């Protein structure tokens, strides 16, 4: 009798590997029925990862989304699973233990059966609580081995790692090939090694299709003892997503495995709905390049799951780099030029950062540092001059021990900046916070929600939750969506033709910038008002302009969102403060991480231009000093 192989549809990951957002709850509820009717899935990945945050970002309540979305699968007896990030739970930064514990209880109550827990550094000490809390909450604790390919990430390394996870409470094992760069034969050997030691546990294979290896990897996984294979489906399969259901199903059937048949009528229904959601609004956040497979990623090993944000980051930074090059009369770069420089820099930087597995959030950190290095090199500066706060936390051991040694230049930089390394248990760095956020809910008059789900959400994602409750998130999302629609219509030539308007004949106020200092000026169009030499008349007395010109300015090193402080424990910079060269004057959130901005000059602060939370461009003036 042929061996049975089960399939899991990773509907959540399909979307997040392609773009920024997930469908709304009303859309998810509609597609759940045909997914059930397809009749071929034992499991469906419904939530986890960035699901909570992205719901909040477009103004939806993720708790309602999870409850309503999972209901159809619960009723049909199809297991639901979520992805959680160990110490980081459902976000990209560490989460207190009491918030993590509540999360598992809430998610089980909302209808999620299995927690696939992974640690970006594959540290058992960060996952022990995940397994413990998942089982306390009534969930199945699945441990994911974050697969990457390096001299230290060998078959033996992963077989031993699985042994450690099972010893501390894991009930299942997932081979998480998030970049799709795991070599098929090695994946087969890892699964075989685990299966020989543990003949009865469930082993699940999850692979992205990005460089094209995952179909062969799925077959090797099945042949060597995997029980469940994760798949995607059209129109979001392949590319940075996952191998398609139809391909994997046909391949495994031909290889002699037993699988349930696919109801093709239901498949086409789910396919049509998924395309409808793309056409509705989600397609505006999917980079077309993410729908293509890319073998170039075999080298840097970056995961398909972050390619959506990578291409968006690349686009923003390319614009900034080309502005810098243009100002200096140098040839502009193409996106491909910058992409290749980034890939080359990842291969250079990754070993020196201790070979963290290239999975969220550490793939983001490696990518961000590498991109900053590449940009600094383009500008004739040195590597490692822009290391964000999150990456420093990883380097210093605040997330756990790195699998490899740090490069000498990183160690020297840490010494120069008086950074302290941490060797304790990372969870101990983050004290409990539920009482704090429970108090905040009461102050604001917000309910804790069914099963304390709103309390969990607030403690998990404080700023995003506040923006959701205030309506700012919905407003910001709709504004951004409208902008994207207009840009697409303009590119397609469907925008109304604009009519040119003659230049005004009355004075007009504008700003000009001289040596990094901005001046407010008034341009007049009457002949008697225009200066023979400059053509402009300032609205400030000449003495004030001359005084302003004597001031030193500190410019923004990159674009993003500016913050005076990164948490409540810090005192914000204010006018009158004395700043020394090297002092931190604020922070810029860019590419999902926080970058400390150091002053490159000394002096007394006379003006702070951006407000806390303002968007800022590269080379914008942050402060003026005298």
Please give the pLDDT value at position 581.
84
Q: To the nearest whole number, what is the mean pLDDT of the chain? A: 88
Q: Among the CATH numbers 3.20.20.70, 1.10.645.10, 3.40.50.2300, 3.40.47.10, which is that of 6-291?
A: 3.20.20.70
Top mean-pLDDT range of 73-77, 310-314, 596-600 = 73-77
Please check whether residue 623 is in contact with residue 608, taking contact to mean a CB–CB distance below 8 angstroms: yes
Confidence label for 69 from pLDDT (cuts 50, 70 and 90) = very high
Residue 532, pLDDT > 60, answer no
> What is the strand order of the sheet 517-523 is part of?
508-514, 517-523, 537-538
Looking from the CA of 517 toward its CB, the CA atoms found within 13 Å total 17
Enumerate the β-bridge partners of residue 114: 81, 140
> What is the strand order of the sheet 621-625 is part of?
552-555, 621-625, 603-608, 578-579
Residue 497, pLDDT > 60, answer no
Q: Which CATH architecture has domain 551-626?
A: Beta Barrel (2.40)
Q: Which residues contact 253 (CB under 8 A, 6 or more apart)?
A: 259
Please check whether residue 119 is in contact with residue 127, taking contact to mean a CB–CB distance below 8 angstroms: yes
Q: Which residues contact 213 (CB under 8 A, 6 or more apart)?
A: 180, 181, 182, 183, 184, 207, 298
Confidence label for 339 from pLDDT (cuts 50, 70 and 90) = confident
Q: Give yes or no for a cis peptide into 235 (omega within 30° of 0).
A: yes
Domain limits, CATH 2.40.50.100, in the chain: 551-626
Domain limits, CATH 3.20.20.70, in the chain: 6-291
Confidence label for 263 from pLDDT (cuts 50, 70 and 90) = very high
For the residues 608-621, what does the mean pLDDT come to?
Answer: 86
Confidence label for 489 from pLDDT (cuts 50, 70 and 90) = confident
Element (H, E) at 206: strand 202-207
Enumerate the β-bridge partners of residue 15: none
Please give the pLDDT value at position 513.
55
């Amino acid at each position: 009798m042929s061996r049975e192989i089960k399939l899991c549809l990773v509907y959540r990951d399909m979307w997040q590997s392609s773009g920024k957002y997930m469908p709304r709850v009303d859309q998810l509820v509609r597609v759940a029925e045909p997914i059930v009717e397809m009749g071929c899935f034992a499991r469906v990945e419904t939530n986890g990862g960035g699901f909570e945050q992205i719901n909040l970002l477009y103004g939806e309540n993720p708790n309602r989304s999870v409850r309503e979305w999972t209901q159809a699968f619960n009723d049909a007896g199809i297991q639901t699973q979520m992805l959680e990030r160990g110490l980081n739970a459902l976000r990209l930064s560490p989460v207190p233990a009491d918030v993590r514990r509540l999360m598992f209880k809430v998610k089980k109550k909302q209808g999620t059966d299995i927690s696939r827990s992974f640690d970006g550094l594959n540290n058992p000490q960060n996952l022990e609580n995940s397994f413990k809390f998942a089982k306390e909450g009534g969930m199945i604790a699945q441990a994911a081995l974050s697969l990457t390919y390096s001299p230290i990430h060998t078959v033996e390394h992963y077989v031993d790692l699985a042994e450690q996870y099972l010893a501390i409470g894991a009930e299942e094992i997932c081979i998480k090939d998030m970049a799709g760069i795991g070599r098929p034969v090695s994946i087969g050997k890892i699964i075989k090694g685990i299966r020989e030691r543990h003949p009865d546990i469930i082993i699940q294979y999850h692979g992205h299709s990005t460089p094209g290896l995952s179909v062969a990897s799925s077959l090797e996984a099945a042949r060597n003892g995997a029980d469940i294979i994760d798949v995607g489906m059209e129109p979001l399969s392949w590319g940075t997503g996952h191998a398609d259901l139809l391909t994997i199903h046909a391949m495994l059937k031909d290889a002699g495995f037993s699988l349930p048949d696919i109801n093709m009528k239901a498949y086409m229904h789910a396919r049509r709905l998924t395309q409808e959601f793309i056409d509705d609004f989600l397609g505006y956040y999917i980079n077309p390049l993410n729908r293509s497979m890319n073998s170039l990623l075999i080298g840097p090993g970056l995961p398909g799951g972050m390619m959506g944000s990578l291409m968006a980051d690349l686009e923003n930074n390319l614009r900034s780099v080309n502005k810098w090059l243009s100002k200096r009369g140098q040839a502009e770069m193409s996106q491909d030029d910058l992409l290749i420089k980034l890939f080359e820099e990842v291969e250079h930087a990754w070993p020196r950062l201790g070979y963290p597995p290239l999975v969220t959030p550490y793939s983001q950190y490696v990518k961000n540092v590498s991109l900053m290095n590449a940009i600094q090199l383009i500008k004739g500066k040195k590597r490692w001059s822009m290391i964000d706060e999150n990456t420093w936390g990883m380097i210093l051991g605040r997330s756990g021990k790195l699998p490899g040694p740090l490069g000498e230049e990183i160690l020297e930089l840490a010494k120069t900046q008086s950074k302290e390394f941490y060797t304790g248990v990372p969870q101990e760095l983050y004290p409990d916070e539920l009482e704090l956020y429970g108090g905040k809910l009461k102050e604001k008059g917000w309910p804790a929600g069914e099963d304390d789900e709103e309390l969990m959400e607030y403690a998990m994602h404080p700023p995003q939750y506040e923006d959701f409750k205030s309506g700012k998130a919905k407003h910001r999302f709709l504004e951004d969506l409208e902008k994207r629609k207009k840009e697409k219509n303009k590119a397609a030539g469907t925008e109304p033709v604009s009519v040119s308007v003659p230049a005004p004949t009355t004075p007009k106020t504008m700003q000009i910038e001289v040596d990094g200092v901005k001046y407010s000026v008034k341009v007049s169009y009457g002949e008697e008002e225009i200066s023979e030499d400059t053509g402009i008349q300032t609205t400030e007395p000449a003495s004030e302009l001359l005084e302003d010109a004597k001031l030193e300015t500190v410019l923004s090193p990159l674009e993003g969102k500016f913050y005076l402080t990164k948490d409540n424990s810090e005192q914000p910079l204010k006018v009158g403060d004395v700043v020394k060269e090297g002092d931190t004057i604020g922070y810029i959130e860019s590419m999902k991480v926080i970058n400390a901005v150091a002053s490159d000059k000394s002096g007394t602060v006379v003006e702070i231009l951006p407000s806390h939370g303002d968007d800022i461009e590269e080379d914008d003036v942050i402060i003026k000093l005298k």
